Every structure is written in structure tokens, then in C-alpha cells.
Amino acid sequence: MTEEAFDVVVVGSCMTDLVSQAPRLPKAGETIHGHKFFIGFGGKGANQCIQAARMGAKTAMVCKVGKDFFGENYIQNFKDNGVSTEFVGQTVDSATGAASIIVNDAGENAIVIVAGANLLLGGEDLRRALPALSHAKVMVCQLEISPDTSLQALRLSHENNVKTIFNPAPAIPDLDPEFYRASDVFCCNESEAELLTGVAVASIEDAGRAGEELLRRGCSSVIITLGSRGCVVLSAQEPSSPSHHVPTKPVTTVDTTGAGDSFIGALAFYMAHFPTMSLEEMARRANQVAGVSVQTIGTQASYPSKKDLPTDLF
Ligand code: ADP
């Protein structure tokens, strides 16, 4: 293993997006001609890791891909972005995670996700990555891999005093209560907050109420992202006035796919590089980074690098 500790270790998913654009979505049994096809790199874990790396964090990804073309391609994508692939496993037992996406001319889509190799990431892989996991400044995980593996990663990080960001996405009902207690920052979007807490989140005040419920469940801090309205930040250390709205600047929005992952990747960078900065200030800056990502098409393709961002964000 490399001698120097990683700033950010992400335990999570990689997905290859296979995107076909067609005039309409095909019916069952039908073959139609589309007008454009492209392959994109996705998966929440990989997206967050790549955004942190582009900001300048020393990053490692702990994940599993297939021993196939898409797996090889994904490993090269990590290398191209300066992410350590020392803990990227390849398996012959399953294919690299893939999302087959059809988008029609009205912008509607039909998507089939096959998580594949992502679901084979397990305890043995975490043990192999322990030297990196136990010395990282920040560990980030989500729910696109087996929830058990994410929980183990959170536990290991906690035991080693590594700061954790947990992104409960895609949200599952009846989340194991230990997820809340093991999260230093529990970061989700409006719909995930709603599904987890049962509080309908339509306004900033609603988000504050949902956040308070998440704090009650044991999180140290909570961030709920609110699209163009920025986010709310809550901390268990401020029980009297726990909820703060952090607005963001209006931008010309082109494609918001992956904005939440850009936000979390940037947040991980700030937590690793500025450990004494307030969470509100980190969220204000992460809003601006994610705000850049919505101004161009694509997921990882739209994520800014340090050189694309104002110097006062560093
Ligand atoms: P998700 O992608 O998980 O649905 P959000 O839509 O809440 O997450 O977006 C995450 C973050 O991205 C927001 O907190 C904000 O910082 C930024 N963002 C998203 N949409 C916009 C937008 N239309 N204008 C400016 N910033 C945005």
C-alpha cells in the first residue's frame, strides 16, 4: 500500500451507463431505431469519489467490477482521474454494474439497472482495504452496494476515528438504526429524507423538521440537499437551533443528473482538507461546486476540477 494516508476513501458502486436516445420508448417485443448512443461513467460511489479527486483530494475507491470490458474501462477512468485503484476488485462471477437507459425525444426515460459485481463487494474486500480505510481522513458510502457492506465500512471507520459521510441512496425503508449512529454527516436529498422520516418535504421548514428527526435517530450532523434551493444543515451539537438553511446562487440549469453526488464529493474534500471549517461553510462551498455541475450535460462529465473553480473555494 502507498505510505501516505488517503484524504477520502469511498466504499461504493460503479455503474456503466449505456444510453440510447430514440424518438420514443419501444413497446414490449418491439425493435426501434434510435438516433444516438453513448457510454457514461456512473454509480453514486464512483461519482462522489471522482468529484473529490477532481477537487484535489487524494482518493481511493473500494469497489467491485466484473472481469470484462466495462470493468477494465472503469478502472482506466479512475486512473485518468487520479483515483487509486489498489482496492478495486475484479470478479468473474458477475458483470460490471450497468444501467441501460433509453431516453425519448420528450426527455422521458426507461431504465434497467443491474447492480451485478457491486453486490459482491463484501467484508473480505473491506478487510483487504483496512490499511487505507483505517487511516483515511474521510470515508464515504451509500446504498448502491449491499447495505451490510456499507454498515461494516461505517463501523470500521468509526472504530478507527475516521470521519464518515453516509449517503442513504437509493433510500430503503426500515434502515438499520446503526446507520444513523455511525454517520458523522448523514447527507441525503429531499425524497430520501421523506422516505426515511415520513415527513413530507416540500419546503425548507419541512426539510428542517425531517432533519431534526434524523438527528433524533443518532446522526451527529445532517445535510438535506434541496436542488436549486441549496440545502439545510443540522448539528446535534446545537440542539436549541439545529436547522440552518444554506442557499445557493441561481445558475442556468442544463442537466441536474448527479448533482447530489457532486455535492457529496465536494463535501468529502472539504472535510478532509479543512477539518476545522464549519459544516455550514463546507455546505455553502459544496453548493457552488454542485451548481457548476448542473450547467453542463452529463454526470461525471459535468464535474468541475480545481482549475475550473474560483480560488476562494479552496
Ligand atoms: P440529487 O441530485 O440527489 O437529487 P439535489 O437535486 O438536491 O440532489 O442537488 C444537490 C445539490 O446540487 C444541491 O444542494 C445544490 O447545491 C446543487 N443543485 C442542484 N440543482 C441545482 C440547480 N438547479 N441550481 C443550482 N444548484 C443546484
Q: Say yes or no: CB of residue 59 within 6 Å of ligand 1.
A: no
- Answer yes or no: are the C-beta atoms of 257 and 241 closer than 8 Å: no
Q: Is 306 part of any known ligand binding site?
A: no
Mutate to test the pocket of ligand 1, among 194, 256, 293, 309 (most ligand atoms within 8 A of CB): 256
Q: Say yes or no: CB of residue 256 within 6 Å of ligand 1.
A: yes
Position in ligand 1 atom list of the atom nearest CA 190: 7
E-state strands within 173-220? 185-189
User: What is the predicted ipTM?
Assistant: 0.99
Positions annotated as catalytic residues are 261
Q: Say yes or no: CB of residue 291 within 6 Å of ligand 1.
A: yes
pLDDT at residue 106, rounded to an integer: 87
pLDDT per residue as tens, the chain (314 positions): 545 799 999 999 999 999 999 999 999 999 999 999 999 999 999 999 999 999 999 999 999 999 999 999 999 999 999 999 999 999 999 999 999 999 998 888 899 999 999 999 999 999 999 999 999 999 999 999 999 999 999 999 999 999 999 999 999 989 999 999 999 999 999 999 999 999 999 999 999 999 999 999 999 999 999 999 999 999 998 767 679 999 999 999 998 999 999 999 999 999 999 999 999 999 999 999 999 999 998 899 999 999 999 999 99
DSSP 8-state secondary structure symbol assigned to residue 200 = -
How is residue 214 written as a grid cell?
434524523
Taking the C-alpha atoms of residue 249 and residue 107, their distance in angstroms, rounded to an integer, is 26
Q: Say yes or no: CB of residue 156 within 6 Å of ligand 1.
A: no
Q: Is 228 part of any known ligand binding site?
A: yes
pLDDT at residue 109, rounded to an integer: 87
pLDDT at residue 237, rounded to an integer: 87
- 189: CA distance to ligand 1 center in Å? 9
Taking the C-alpha atoms of residue 277 and residue 273, their distance in angstroms, rounded to an integer, is 9
Q: Which residues lie below 8 Å from residue 34, measured CB to CB, with a gap of 6+?
A: 20, 21, 22, 23, 102
Q: Is 260 part of any known ligand binding site?
A: yes
Taking the C-alpha atoms of residue 246 and residue 231, their distance in angstroms, rounded to an integer, is 5
- 290: CA distance to ligand 1 center in Å? 6
CA distances (Å), origin 155, targets 90, 120, 187, 221: 24, 19, 17, 17
Q: Is 15 part of any known ligand binding site?
A: yes
Q: Say yes or no: CB of residue 248 within 6 Å of ligand 1.
A: yes
Question: What residues form DSSP beta bridges with 18?
Answer: 39, 100
How is residue 153 written as a grid cell?
465500512
Q: Say yes or no: CB of residue 220 within 6 Å of ligand 1.
A: no
- Diameter over CA atoms, the chain: 60
- 93: CA distance to ligand 1 center in Å? 36
pLDDT at residue 238, rounded to an integer: 79
- 30: CA distance to ligand 1 center in Å? 36
Minimum CA distance residue for ligand 1 atom 13: 227
Q: How many CA atoms lie less than 13 Å away from 144 in the CB half-sphere?
A: 30
How is residue 242 written as a grid cell?
439545529
